[in-house]
Amino acid sequence: MGRLQVFIISFLTISCVSIFMPNLVAAQLKTNFYAQTCPNVESIVRNVVNQKFKQTFVTIPAVLRLFFHDCFVEGCDASVIIASTSGNTAEKDHPDNLSLAGDGFDTVIKAKAAVDAIPSCKNKVSCADILALATRDVIQLSGGPGYAVELGRLDGLTSKSSNVGGNLPKPTFNLDQLNTMFASHGLNQADMIALSAAHTLGFSHCDQFSNRIFNFSPKNPVDPSLNKTYAAQLQQMCPKNVDPRIAINMDPITPRAFDSVYFQNLQKGMGLFTSDQVLFTDQRSKGTVDLWASNSKVFETAFVNAMTKLGRVGVKTGKNGNIRIDCGAFN
C-alpha cells in the first residue's frame, strides 16, 4: 500500500456558487429525463462501472470522491473533469484535487464513450449526469443503498483552479465549521452527518491526521478523543517522517463496505479525522451518530436523501451549460 495514491473521500468543500433554490432545481431534474432520448442510459453506465470495479476496488472511493469534489466547487456540472490547457489551469490541477484518483475520471470517460456509442444517445447525455449515475452505482456495489438518480444536469462552461483554493475544509474542523459549509449548499446537519459516512470507504495519507497522533497540543500530544489502541496502531502505520505516499484505510473495521460501522467507530473513538470524531464528541450531533450506529436502515434513508439534495447543488441548465462531446474538454 506504500505507493497507493490517496483517495480521501473528502467531500467537505465549499463552492463559489450562490445559494440556490432547491425546489426550483428539483423541478428541473427528473429521474426519467432520458426516457425518450436514451432510455438505457442507466444500464449502460452501470455496466461500465461494474467492469471498472472488477479491475480495481479503487473505482468505488474514486468515483464517490470525484462526485463530491465536483458538486462542492461550482456545483454538479462535471467541471472537475476538465483538463487544463495552456491558457487555463482547471479545477483538477489545483493542489487540493491532485489526489483525486485517475480511476474516477476514467470511469466517467469510459461510460460517456459507451453511452455515445449508441446512435440515439450520442451527445444527448451530460458528463455531469453520468458522474451522478456512476456514484449511485459504486455506492450500491460496496453494499450501500440503491436510489433513483435525478437527471437533467448540463455540463459547466468554466473550470478554474482559482475556484478551488481554500474551499476544502481541514480535517480539523469542528461542528460549527462543518455545518456552516454544508448550509451554504442547502444541506442541514443531518445531511452533513450522513454524507460524512462516505468516509467508511477509501484511504487517507498520513499527513491528514498526523497532528492527532503526535502533536495535538502541548499538554496532550495524542488527541484525547482518539481511542488509545487505535492511536497506537496509527502511530505504527504512520510513524514520523513517513513516506508521504503511504495511505491507510479510513475505516479500520470494514474498509471495503459502505455501512453504518463508520458511526460505531465514532462511538469507540476511532474516527480518523477530528472532523469525523467531533460528530460524536459534540452533543448536538451525538444523538444522530448513536441512532445511525444502531439502525442502518434509518441511516441509509437519510443518506439517500442527502445524496439527492447534494445532486441538486449548482445544477446548470439552459444557457449556463451544455452537453460536452468530450468530458475532459469544453466544446
165 annotated ligand-binding residue: no
Looking at residue 275, its pLDDT comes to: 96
169 a known binding residue?
yes
Cell, residue 227: 481511542
State residue 167's pLDDT score.
Answer: 73
Q: Is 217 annotated as a binding residue?
A: no
75 has binding-site annotation: yes
Is 106 part of any known ligand binding site?
no
- Name the phi and psi angles at 154, rounded to 5: -105, 160
Instruction: Please measure the distance between the N-terminal and C-terminal CA atoms of the chain and give it in whole angstroms.
Output: 39
Task: Please tell me whether 251 is known to bind a ligand.
Answer: yes
Determine which one of 69, 94, 185, 205 is catalytic: 69
pLDDT digits (tens, 9 = 90+) for 73-85: 999 999 999 999 9
Neighbour tally for 160: CB within 10 Å: 18
Q: What is the pLDDT of residue 27?
A: 53
Whether pLDDT at 72 is above 60: yes
Q: What is the mean pLDDT of residues 144-154?
A: 97
- How many percent of the chain have pLDDT more than 70? 91
Which residues, 6 or more positions from 80, have their beta carbon under 8 angstroms from its beta carbon? 66, 69, 70, 73, 91, 92, 97, 100, 159
Which residues 6+ apart lie within 8 Å of 36 measured at CB? none
The pLDDT score that the predictor gives to residue 191 is 97
Q: Is 73 annotated as a binding residue?
A: yes
* Whole-number average pLDDT of the chain: 91
pTM for this predicted structure: 0.91
The per-residue pLDDT for 244 is 82
Residue 150 cell numbers, joined:
435525478
pLDDT per residue as tens digits for the range 90-102: 999 998 888 899 9
pLDDT of the residue at 9: 39
pLDDT at 70: 94
Query: Is 69 one of the catalytic residues?
Result: yes
| Confidence band of 245 (pLDDT split at 50, 70, 90) | confident
List Cα–Cα distances, 62 to 84, 100, 240, 276, 291, in angstroms.
Answer: 20, 7, 27, 19, 28
pLDDT band at 30; cut points 50, 70, 90: very high
Is 79 within any annotated ligand binding site?
Answer: yes
CA distance 65 to 10: 6
pLDDT-derived band of residue 26, with 50, 70 and 90 as boundaries?
Answer: low
The dihedral sign for the CA sequence 67, 250, 238, 2: negative
